[in-house]
Structure 1
Amino acid sequence: MSDAIDHPIAQPQENRFWLTTSDGVGIDAVLLRRAQPRTTAVVLANGFIGTYRSPHTRAIAEGLLSVGDVMTFDFRGHHGSGGRSTVGNAEIHDLEAVVSRLRELGYTHIAAVGFSMGAAVAIRHAAIYGGTSAVVSVSGPSRWHYQGTRAMRLLHIGIGKTFGRAFLKRFRKVRVTDQRWNPTPAEPREIAGEVAPAPLLVVHGDADAYFPVSHATAIYDAAREPKDLWIIPEMGHAERAVSSDLVARLREWLGERLPQRERPA
């Protein structure tokens, strides 16, 4: 991230959680919060090979703390979490484990902000589980198995070949399943209409090397109101491409849709 993200708040408190999904996978998560408990929380769902340890994710989280407390986590198969990555299928259980823990902690309004794979997970989670107050999809795919760009062709080698999975495990700390999806889940463009009545914001860069803008417009066209579409000039892909200006816009969009209240002591 080339720009520093301004966040005019005190250094947040940090609490680490070990969560267990409905299918028994352990999820490593961290909650950034202010001293005074609030009713609103934001969940950040990383892209494939992403982690809450990334300075890019941390900067985005801190930039959104004025909206609500922020929970970051590692998807299954990533870094400290258990299990193996299914690259967007079973990961909806990971996000539900995070959202459920936030509800247990007393948060009543929860927004999910997903990046790339995490964007597809956030849309599918909202459509299947419900319970989120707003959803933001950043750099998300509209359909599965897309290989129209060089970056995605390389990614498919990484997840589809034994040597590719070995490379990811050794050098990216990501363990990927060798099992194919059965059955294949609904694509984001097929299920985006079920996010409503929660508002959906679709964000995409016109310089994304993984997914062209047509993926964003497909999701947006399939969604029902309330919905918004932002095509960002010269923006690349996912967390690493998020600038301070974009974080400020996301903060404003979320702030207009989520209540800002502190819980009674």
Structure 2
Amino acid sequence: MDAGLSLRITGLDRGAQVAGAEWITLRTTRGPLPTILHPAAEPGRAVICVSGALGGFDGPASLYPRLGLEMPRRRGISVLRVGYRAPNEFGECVLDAMAAVSFLKGTGHASAVIIGHSFGGAVAINAGTLTPFITSVVAISSQLGGAHVVGELAPRPLLLIHGTADSVLAHQSSEALYERAREPRTLKLIPGAGHGLVEAAEELFDIVEDWLSRAA
């Protein structure tokens, strides 16, 4: 990410609340950033979810809305799903992740795990190196591009998840990230799963939920 890039939150606009989730647009010095917050009963631990190069809020196999539904109730963990202001513009997307950190700090949260899919895996890895507020990183079907800083994540735990049938980004991408990362690091390969891991949605959720219960 260009070290000269910066972003500051100047306000927020609260939108509709549906099934315990609230649409919140963060007003920033680089434009509006859409988010969906699933708050726990009390602020404390949180999860930040970022998507692939096309943006969106759902993540692989609709993982993110399910985390938003389950984590606050079952684990007392808030979930913030982050849309991008400028999808596929890497530096801007890292700034969006950092804006999410600022928002969570401002709402009384103490720490966060960041989860990213595909392009978002590299976004999550970069954001994880920039602030101690992020205590762990989960990169799902991650690209290598932009993730060269993975060795700087330690001592934050890193979880890499990849399907062995991924035809968009081969699972060797996560294997390479694993080799470049330092401990603590974990690699989970899911046999027969593609880039979006729809074939293994339940297994994906179980892996991530278990990780969050221990790392968030």
**TM norm structure 1:** 0.67
Look up the match of 1:39: 44
For residue 138 of structure 1, the aligned residue among 137, 140, 151 is 140
Match for residue 97 of structure 2? 95
Q: Distance in 2 between matches of 1:51 and 1:108?
A: 26
Q: Deviations over 1:160-192 (max 9, x none)?
A: xxxxxxxxxxxxxxxxxxxxxxxxxxx31x210
2 CA distance for matches of 1:105 and 1:243? Answer: 31
- Work out which of the residue numbers 166, 176, 188 in structure 2 matches 1:208: 166
Q: CA deviation at 1:105?
A: 0.5
Q: Which runs of 4+ in 1 moved over 6 A?
A: none
Aligned partner of 2:115: which letter?
V
Q: Which amino acid aligns with 1:254?
A: L
Alignment size in residue pairs:
195
CA RMSD of aligned residues (A): 2.2
Q: Which has the higher contact order (CA 8 A, sep 6+)?
A: 1
1:49 aligns with 2:54: yes
Contact kept in structure 2, 1:42 and 1:112, CA below 8 Å: yes
Q: Distance in 1 between matches of 2:58 and 2:150?
A: 29
1:92-171 aligned at under 5 Å gives the runs 92-143=94-145
Larger radius of gyration: 1
Q: Specify the alignment match of 1:25 in structure 2.
A: 31
The residue type paired with residue 117 of structure 1 is F
Aligned equivalents of 2:71 and 2:160: distance in 1? 17
Give the CA deviation at 1:16.
2.1
| 8 Å Cα contact 2:160-2:188 kept in structure 1 | yes
- Describe the shift of the 1:191–1:53 C-alpha distance in structure 2 as closer, same or farther (beyond 3 A): closer
- 1:109 maps to amino acid: S
* Partners of 1:119 and 1:136 within 8 A in 2: yes
Q: Does 1:74 align with 2:76?
A: no
C-alpha displacement of 1:225: 0.9
1:135 to 1:241, Cα distance in 2 relative to 1, 3 A: farther
Runs of 5+ in structure 1 lacking a partner? 1-10, 77-83, 144-186, 259-265
Question: What's the CA shift string for 1:115-134, capped at 9, x where partnerless?
Answer: 01111100011123443011
Q: 1:241 & 1:138 partners in 2: Cα distance?
A: 14
TM-score where L is the length of structure 2: 0.82
Shift of 1:142: 1.1
In the alignment, what sits opposite 1:224?
182
Distance 1:100 1:61 in 2: 19
